[in-house]
A and B are shown apart, each in its own frame.
Chain A
């Protein structure tokens, strides 16, 4: 649980309302974002509630709920907002910050991001077999997607050997700098 008194929460909120999305105070709770959101039925806080909680300075409650982490960045909320609040950018910013402060709540998703970027760091490109295997191991879900793995192999639609790019040290540097 993230404590509301944590110092970094003030930093996050300040940056959020001054730099990332100053329009956030224009939200008048029409609910268009939530009406269009494909994930609203699994969210603990709806998109409009997330915006309201930020206005009320309750960042900790948002970071403790699943909404920010499950958001698929489809951007329907931002594109329909009559007050031009970029809700998707707000959610994205909160994900970045919770990753940065090691407070990412949904470990399965955090594992996915971590493994994927490490693979890119090594090879310069993605390599699905390694990604899926490591992800299943870390998430202790060993036979996840076994059925479709068989199908993919039958159709020869996956590389069994990774592709190394030539200057992968450049990509390594980039990933290392920002991870």
Chain B
């Protein structure tokens, strides 16, 4: 399948190591139940020499509840985070959580001056700007926000990852004979990559990969020598936040994803969304109970696996905080 990436487009995210700095928006999940995602992303960025600074006093993006009760609320909530980043002098934002990423990008498209807007969008923009003017924010400036999801940023910096991986490999070649927990995990890894539903589908947000058969995560893992299995459930929905109110639906959908992973010959799943991870990892015990099954499939964040490949320890990327632990971690 042909890629949707426009190759002529200026590849603006290749990182100029020393000058470029990103605003980092973790979001509520990464601050609690997905703390392992947060820490592994931060440590990975340090290893890759990507500079970032957390947005000061950021607020919740409102996620599913906000966009289901109001058209303007998710935009206004995310607009505050964008304005805070602008106050710090930063307009490029990294957002690892997929749900937050969708909300922030949609808001950025509405706020940016250059994007063409419909009449109703212009009206919404004006209304939201008035709210922020009353709170003392500067809204007259030129805005040019760009929000990156973790996968997009890593994908555009594949060469940097490859380079750092080789550097690290050469550095450690002397003691490569000894097997550590980290090397065991990497050696044993036969993953499928699971993108989840909204990362590549959100309307109006830059598409960096094909939305039916994406390959960016596979290509990223390939740069550190990990071969992924072909997976037919790459972008199927896990049921998302229905887990709180209609759990059985989520258990069924997530079970189908686990089944498809096993069918593909994989022994683990690599994900990039905190909610998908929670439904597949934390709820795997509930799936086993509900369906009388015996799944035991570790579900890693892509940042954890890359972190290990960059020579970080399994504690640096918090692999011991996964609910289904890889067998190499001793209790």
**A99 on interface, CB distance cutoff 8 Å:** yes
**A45 on interface, CB distance cutoff 8 Å:** no
Stretch from B42-50, B66-74, B174-182 at the A interface: B66-74
Contact at A116–B237, with CB atoms within 8 Å?
A: no
A86 to chain B: which residues have CB within 8 Å? 203
B249 to chain A: which residues have CB within 8 Å? 39, 42, 70
Within the assembled complex, what's the spacing in Å between the Cα atoms of A125 and B77?
11
**B244 on interface, CB distance cutoff 8 Å:** yes
Contact at B245–A117, with CB atoms within 8 Å?
A: no
Nearest chain A residue, comparing its CB with the CB of B118? A19
Residue among B35, B66, B285 with the most chain A CB within 10 A?
Answer: B66
**B202 on interface, CB distance cutoff 8 Å:** yes
Q: Range of interface residues on chain A?
A: 35 or more
Assuming A72-B237, A73-B67, is B59 touching A165 (CB within 8 A)? Answer: yes
Contact at A135–B244, with CB atoms within 8 Å?
A: yes
Assuming A74-B240, A173-B131, is B59 touching A147 (CB within 8 A)? Answer: no
CB < 8 Å A-B pair total: 160
- Of the candidates B68, B198, B246, which one forms a contact with A74 in the assembled complex, judged by CB atoms under 8 Å apart? B198
Stretch from A1-9, A46-54, A57-65, A149-157 at the B interface: A149-157
Within 8 A of A (CB), among B270-325: 282-283, 285-286, 289, 321, 323
Within the assembled complex, what's the spacing in Å between the Cα atoms of A108 and B247?
12
Contact at A72–B32, with CB atoms within 8 Å?
A: no
B239 to chain A: which residues have CB within 8 Å? 38, 72
Assuming A75-B201, A96-B71, A157-B35, is B80 touching A112 (CB within 8 A)? Answer: no
B7 to chain A: which residues have CB within 8 Å? none
Assuming A75-B198, A157-B32, is B285 touching A151 (CB within 8 A)? Answer: yes
Within 8 A of A (CB), among B235-272: 235-237, 239-242, 244-247, 249, 253
**A17 on interface, CB distance cutoff 8 Å:** no
Fill in one digit per residue for A113-151: 1 if any B CB lies within 8 Å of its CB, else 0.
Answer: 100110010001110100010010001000011011001
- Of the candidates A73, A147, A158, which one forms a contact with B32 in the assembled complex, judged by CB atoms under 8 Å apart? A158
A163 to chain B: which residues have CB within 8 Å? 31
**B189 on interface, CB distance cutoff 8 Å:** no
Within the assembled complex, what's the spacing in Å between the Cα atoms of A106 and B286?
24
**B170 on interface, CB distance cutoff 8 Å:** no
**A174 on interface, CB distance cutoff 8 Å:** yes
Nearest chain B residue, comparing its CB with the CB of A79? B201
Within the assembled complex, what's the spacing in Å between the Cα atoms of A89 and B211?
18
**A105 on interface, CB distance cutoff 8 Å:** no
B136 to chain A, nearest CB (A): 9
Within 8 A of B (CB), among A64-95: 70, 72-76, 78-79, 86, 89, 92-93, 95
| Interface of A: prevailing SS | helix
Contact at A106–B59, with CB atoms within 8 Å?
A: no
Contact at A113–B68, with CB atoms within 8 Å?
A: yes
Within the assembled complex, what's the spacing in Å between the Cα atoms of A38 and B197?
10
**B65 on interface, CB distance cutoff 8 Å:** yes
B244 to chain A: which residues have CB within 8 Å? 112, 132, 135
Contact at A70–B198, with CB atoms within 8 Å?
A: no
B240 to chain A: which residues have CB within 8 Å? 72-74
A44 to chain B: which residues have CB within 8 Å? none
Within the assembled complex, what's the spacing in Å between the Cα atoms of A100 and B31?
31
A95 to chain B: which residues have CB within 8 Å? 68-69
A66 to chain B, nearest CB (A): 10
Within the assembled complex, what's the spacing in Å between the Cα atoms of A156 and B36?
11
Within the assembled complex, what's the spacing in Å between the Cα atoms of A18 and B39?
47
Assuming A120-B59, A159-B31, is B69 touching A171 (CB within 8 A)? Answer: no
Which 4 residue pairs are nearest across A and B when measured between Cβ atoms? A74-B197, A74-B237, A178-B73, A126-B28
Tell me the A residues contacting B by CB distance below 8 Å.
19, 38-39, 42, 70, 72-76, 78-79, 86, 89, 92-93, 95-96, 99-100, 106, 108-109, 111-113, 116-117, 120, 124-126, 128, 132, 135, 139, 144-145, 147-148, 151-152, 155-159, 163, 165-168, 170-171, 173-175, 177-179
Having A157-B35, A177-B76, one finds 20 other A-B pairs with CB under 8 Å, namely A70-B249, A72-B197, A72-B237, A74-B201, A75-B202, A89-B203, A92-B67, A112-B244, A112-B245, A120-B62, A125-B60, A128-B33, A157-B33, A157-B321, A158-B33, A167-B57, A171-B77, A174-B80, A177-B131, A178-B76
